[in-house]
A = this chain, B = another copy of it.
């Protein structure tokens, strides 16, 4: 039987694993599989990315180039050639699933990958989608490509969905130690998927269908989006009541059950939280349902960049200054702490509003030395140095992402005005209050 042959190849690690899409998910995945001893073929449409990897250079901050070089030395190759799909025993798809400008799912990358690879499907292969998507995608979108090739899913071809759970910058967990959820189109499909992923991931969590596995990933990110949306709304309420939301959340977090702390910020970023929930919203419409928590969280989180700017305008106004013409430094522009990832970063929205209002905008972020090319955003800026003198030269410093490599004590001492959207300076501020020193240069926003 095809399944037995497949399992044998996985067991002796002769199975070749193809990774389709070499980005924030595909590269760490390729690395983990390679480390487990399998031959790995990386496939991407981006020739520059392919050449870079084959030359032993890493395009991702937290994967060092020497790791990529070690992979290239044996059992790893990157290619633009989708006909090499036929060489692979397992085909793992890790391409982006963004939203279009109407917040509808854009499965363009999944579809074009399927179109490019499916002519080379053969008996005995496993196909697994890792990209986040709406429940039913594997069944309704991927399956027809396989069946069109005359293959029989569950008998001579295996189809799974297994969502990626990468968390760049997380020091406690990596691809191998994060449990992996798998749903199969049939029980044999799931067994094939469990065998492959179980070879390099510590814990496999099998669920009853590909749809269930697709829903799991959405629920994880919906949970985050809604909880962040909630604390962002509470931040606005707390501010009106002259309360510090960060103090309140820290105290609530001392409850040893029934509470998990989420912290507000200038909005949400990254490729997951601002996007994934709307995949469920879109699919739910087919069933006449409205996902109200998702919509509310999206709306409130999207309003936060403007809120941070509003607080800046108010604080400058108190000092007799307009935002127009003011020198403003944005501190931290990557979407979260200690990463270089700018995707959907709320800092960019803050910077755009500041620019629209006529501010003279600069930024500091050692993770992002030069403002990158982005599809929707354009700034001709590089990270400025952070010194006592440079800090003092700005009318306002907006703390947007609290990277750990910044000297916040220096920021607090030398900035004329800090708009702290992360609560990072709160502890220092409290210490000043206790010492009866003035810290009226810090505004929580």
Residues of A within 8 A of B (CB): 135-136, 165, 167, 170, 172-173, 177-179, 181, 203, 205, 207-209, 211-213, 215-217, 219-220, 222-224, 226-227, 229-230, 233-234, 236-238, 240-244, 247-249, 251-252, 254-260, 280, 283-284, 287-289, 291-293, 296, 300, 430
Report yes or no: A135 in contact with B260, Cβ–Cβ below 8 A.
Answer: no
Report yes or no: B252 in contact with A287, Cβ–Cβ below 8 A.
Answer: no
Report yes or no: B215 in contact with A289, Cβ–Cβ below 8 A.
Answer: no
Residue among A222, A223, A247, A292 with max Cβ neighbours from chain B (10 Å): A223
A234/B222 contact (C-beta < 8 A), A135-B243, A211-B241, A296-B292 known: yes
Number of chain copies forming the complex: 2
Residue among A238, A252, A256 with max Cβ neighbours from chain B (10 Å): A252
What residues of chain B lie closer than 8 Å to A165, measured between beta carbons? 255
A234/B219 contact (C-beta < 8 A), A181-B254, A240-B289, A287-B240 known: yes
What residues of chain B lie closer than 8 Å to A230, measured between beta carbons? 222-223, 226, 293
Chain B proximity of A12: nearest CB distance (Å): 29
Chain B proximity of A335: nearest CB distance (Å): 14
What residues of chain B lie closer than 8 Å to A240, measured between beta carbons? 284, 287-289
CA distance A92 to B251 in the complex (A): 21
Residue among A229, A237, A280 with max Cβ neighbours from chain B (10 Å): A237
Report yes or no: A248 in contact with B215, Cβ–Cβ below 8 A.
Answer: yes
CA distance A219 to B178 in the complex (A): 30
Report yes or no: B215 in contact with A257, Cβ–Cβ below 8 A.
Answer: no
What residues of chain B lie closer than 8 Å to A280, measured between beta carbons? 237
**Smallest CB-CB separation from A170: which chain B residue?**
B257
Chain B proximity of A232: nearest CB distance (Å): 10
What residues of chain B lie closer than 8 Å to A243, measured between beta carbons? 135, 209, 211-212, 215
What residues of chain B lie closer than 8 Å to A300, measured between beta carbons? 292-293
Q: Which one of B173, B283, B296, B430 lies within 8 Å of A293 (CB-CB)?
A: B296
Q: Known pairs A181-B254, A220-B258; list 13 more (Cβ under 8 Å).
A: A167-B258, A177-B256, A178-B256, A212-B243, A212-B251, A219-B252, A220-B252, A223-B230, A223-B252, A223-B258, A229-B293, A240-B288, A292-B296
Chain B proximity of A426: nearest CB distance (Å): 11
Listed A/B pairs (26) with beta-carbon separation below 8 Å: A135-B243, A167-B257, A167-B258, A170-B257, A179-B255, A181-B251, A181-B254, A207-B247, A207-B251, A208-B244, A211-B243, A212-B243, A215-B241, A217-B252, A219-B249, A220-B252, A223-B230, A223-B252, A223-B260, A237-B280, A237-B284, A240-B287, A240-B289, A241-B283, A241-B284, A292-B296
Report yes or no: B287 in contact with A241, Cβ–Cβ below 8 A.
Answer: yes
What residues of chain B lie closer than 8 Å to A220, measured between beta carbons? 252, 255, 258-259
CA distance A243 to B256 in the complex (A): 32
What residues of chain B lie closer than 8 Å to A430, measured between beta carbons? 208
CA distance A242 to B139 in the complex (A): 14
Chain B proximity of A25: nearest CB distance (Å): 15
Report yes or no: B216 in contact with A179, Cβ–Cβ below 8 A.
Answer: no
**Smallest CB-CB separation from A273: which chain B residue?**
B258
What residues of chain B lie closer than 8 Å to A296, measured between beta carbons? 292-293, 296
Q: Which one of B212, B215, B247 lies within 8 Å of A212 (CB-CB)?
A: B247
What residues of chain B lie closer than 8 Å to A172, measured between beta carbons? 256-257
CA distance A224 to B260 in the complex (A): 9
What residues of chain B lie closer than 8 Å to A211, measured between beta carbons? 241-243
Chain B proximity of A298: nearest CB distance (Å): 12
What residues of chain B lie closer than 8 Å to A233, measured between beta carbons? 291-293
CA distance A280 to B207 in the complex (A): 40
Chain B proximity of A135: nearest CB distance (Å): 5
Closest 9 CB pairs of A and B: A240-B287, A179-B254, A260-B260, A216-B251, A205-B254, A219-B252, A215-B248, A230-B293, A220-B252
A136/B216 contact (C-beta < 8 A), A173-B257, A205-B254, A224-B258 known: no
CA distance A179 to B255 in the complex (A): 6
What residues of chain B lie closer than 8 Å to A238, measured between beta carbons? 215
**Smallest CB-CB separation from A229: which chain B residue?**
B293
